[in-house]
């Protein structure tokens, strides 16, 4: 972790809607899956941004958009000032080299029929300009060494490795083109807890060694804490709270972040006894029918009338201009102290959805 203020990536108004269709032959469009619905963030050079949220909130879609594996419906992604969503041909290929992805599941993301050497060296087939043919074998061995694997393993196959080792292979492949940014989509979620820390420590070391900036995605706030400089909490296609790591963990102001944090395991038994657990009732609404106003309102114990009609902006709450709570939160009542209603965890009844356009 070595944060700097100079942004390498600036994401603004990012939207990805997938058409929702009915019928097999004549596909009739009946709505949209609003997977990503207006996301803004910046990533400083050398910084790690942790993106956290429940399953289906749009994390992987953001990852794919950043790596240009999907085209956005709207919005911009500026890499060193240039909007990469408008690039094509050679310029697009050059940018793709610089933003690489590490995938969630090392069991399915590595081709079982390819040797480790071929997997790690595969990016050179797509970007032959990155390394002269005669030098690729040497580079692959070097990459294996860098991620803590024996270079003699080049001729082995993925099934001969453990989960943690496979993720090291995936990381080596991600590094092959010497990218400036790595987007890691839940890189340790499929691994045993005992191995997770090792892989996170490896990513931490590589960041310093290769001057990398990371977008690190997870569904659990406890996983990203150690590695992240800043955190973005996602809910139903949007970032609802974002700030420096210590601000988010010590002074969360959005009810959703407060609920997520109340579920994070606490090692100290005394602290564990005294903390309040906020249980969210109900399920996450479908991204095809996002609630009007504040999208979190159907599960929020603080919700009131205004929340159904007015979309809260992601901004610093007025009373917190300074101090650890002075970070962006998309809640009309972020400045209110956290209160759980006396009758226990609560959430008002769902009162319908607007179902159209971002907002
Ligand atoms: N190609 C697609 N077509 C239609 N809907 C999609 C498509 N890809 C994703 N979605 C939907 O968009 C929403 C966001 O999906 P996404 O995979 O980005 O979520 P996620 O936060 O990564 O979830 P998880 O934690 O389970 O990986 C989900 O409702 C998903 O079903
Ligand atoms: S705006 Fe209203 S519904 Fe949304 S998080 Fe704040 S209190 Fe809850
Ligand atoms: Mg995902």
Contact 187, 104 (CB under 8 A): yes
Which one is predicted more confidently, 222 or 342? 222
Co-location of 267 and 161 in the same domain: no
Last residue of some domain: 191, 210, 241? 241
Co-location of 76 and 186 in the same domain: yes
The percent of the chain in helix, strand and coil, each rounded to the nearest 5, is: 35, 20, 45
Co-location of 129 and 185 in the same domain: yes
Which one is predicted more confidently, 264 or 12? 12
In tens, the pLDDT along 66-113 reads 999 999 999 999 999 999 999 999 999 999 999 999 998 877 889 999
Co-location of 175 and 319 in the same domain: no
Per-residue model confidence (pLDDT) at position 297: 96
Co-location of 190 and 305 in the same domain: no
Neighbours of 89 (CB within 10 A): 7
Contact partners, residue 133, CB within 8 Å, separation at least 6: none
Got the DSSP string for 104-123? Answer: S-TTTSS-TTS-HHHHHHHH
Residue-number span of the structural domain to which 279 is assigned: 258-359
pLDDT above 80 for 352: no
In tens, the pLDDT along 24-43 reads 788 888 899 999 999 999 99
Co-location of 221 and 335 in the same domain: no
In a domain, 83, yes or no: yes
In a domain, 247, yes or no: no
Contact 226, 43 (CB under 8 A): no
In a domain, 289, yes or no: yes
As a whole number of angstroms, the distance between CA 211 and CA 146 comes to 14
What is the distance in A from the centroid of ligand 1 to the CA of 39?
15
Co-location of 143 and 189 in the same domain: yes
In a domain, 250, yes or no: no
Contact 155, 116 (CB under 8 A): yes
pLDDT above 50 for 355: no
Q: Are strands 230-235 and 48-52 parallel, antiparallel or unpaired?
A: parallel
In tens, the pLDDT along 276-307 reads 788 888 899 999 999 999 999 999 999 999 99
Q: To test ligand 2's pocket by mutation, which of 234, 306, 312 has the most ligand atoms within 8 angstroms of CB? A: 312
287 in ligand 1 pocket by Cβ < 6 Å?
A: yes
Last residue of some domain: 209, 241, 273? 241
Co-location of 226 and 271 in the same domain: no
Give me the half-sphere count of Cα atoms (radius 13 Å) on the Cβ side of residue 351. 15
Q: How confident is the model at residue 338 (pLDDT cuts 50, 70, 90)?
A: low
Bridge partners of 7, per DSSP, are 44
HEC-encoded secondary structure of 197-237: HHHHHHHHHHHHHHCCEEEEEECCHHHHCCCCCEEEEEECC
In a domain, 146, yes or no: yes
Q: What number does the ligand 2 atom closest to the CA of 302 have?
A: 7
56 in ligand 1 pocket by Cβ < 6 Å?
A: yes
As a whole number of angstroms, the distance between CA 121 and CA 128 comes to 10
As a whole number of angstroms, the distance between CA 35 and CA 83 comes to 21
Angle at 287 between CA 44 and CA 283, to 5 degrees: 100
Last residue of some domain: 241, 276, 298? 241
In a domain, 252, yes or no: no
Co-location of 197 and 49 in the same domain: yes
Bridge partners of 48, per DSSP, are 214
Residues with CB under 5 A from ligand 3 (ion): 59-60
C-alpha dist (Å) from residue 310 to 188, 291, 303, 332: 37, 11, 12, 9
Q: Looking at the CA of 61, which ligand is closest?
A: 1
In tens, the pLDDT along 154-165 reads 999 999 999 999
As a whole number of angstroms, the distance between CA 220 and CA 174 comes to 23
Co-location of 188 and 233 in the same domain: yes
Co-location of 216 and 285 in the same domain: no
CATH number assigned to the domain comprising residue 198: 3.40.50.300
In a domain, 165, yes or no: yes
Co-location of 54 and 167 in the same domain: yes
In a domain, 298, yes or no: yes
C-alpha dist (Å) from residue 123 to 70, 117, 134, 197, 333: 19, 11, 15, 27, 48
Our count of domains for the chain comes to 2
Which one is predicted more confidently, 140 or 26? 140
């Amino acid at each position: 972790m070595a944060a700097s203020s100079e942004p390498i990536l600036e994401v603004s108004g990012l939207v990805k809607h997938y058409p929702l269709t009915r019928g097999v032959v004549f596909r009739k469009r009946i709505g949209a899956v609003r997977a990503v619905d207006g996301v803004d963030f910046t990533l400083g050079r050398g910084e790690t941004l942790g993106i956290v949220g429940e399953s289906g909130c749009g994390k992987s879609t953001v990852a794919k958009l950043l790596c240009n594996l999907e085209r956005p419906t709207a919005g911009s992604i500026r890499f060193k000032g240039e909007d990469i969503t408008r690039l094509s041909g050679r310029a697009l290929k050059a940018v793709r080299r610089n933003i690489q992805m590490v995938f969630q599941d090392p069991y399915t993301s590595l081709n079982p029929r390819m040797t480790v050497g071929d997997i790690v060296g595969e990016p050179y087939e797509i970007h032959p300009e990155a390394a002269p043919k005669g030098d690729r074998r040497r580079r692959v061995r070097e990459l294996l060494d860098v991620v803590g694997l024996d270079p003699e393993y080049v001729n082995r196959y993925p099934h001969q490795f453990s989960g943690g080792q496979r993720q090291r292979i995936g990381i080596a492949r991600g590094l092959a083109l010497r990218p400036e940014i790595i987007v890691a989509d839940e890189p340790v979620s499929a691994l045993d807890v005992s191995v997770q820390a090792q892989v996170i420590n490896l990513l931490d070391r590589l960041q310093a060694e290769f001057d990398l900036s990371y977008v690190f995605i997870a569904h659990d706030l406890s996983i990203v804490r150690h590695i992240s400089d800043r955190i973005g909490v996602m809910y139903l296609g949007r970032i609802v709270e974002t700030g420096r790591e210590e601000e988010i963990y010590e002074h969360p102001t959005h009810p959703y972040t407060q609920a997520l944090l109340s579920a994070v395991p606490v090692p100290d038994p005394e602290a564990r006894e005294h903390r309040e657990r906020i249980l969210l009732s109900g399920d996450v609404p479908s991204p095809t029918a996002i609630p009007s106003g504040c999208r979190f309102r159907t599960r929020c114990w603080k919700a009131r009338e205004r929340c159904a009609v007015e979309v809260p902006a992601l901004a610093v709450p007025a009373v917190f201009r300074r101090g650890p709570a002075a970070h962006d939160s998309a809640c009309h009542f972020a400045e209110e102290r956290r209160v759980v209603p006396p009758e226990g965890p609560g959430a008002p009844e769902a009162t319908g959805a607007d179902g159209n356009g971002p907002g």
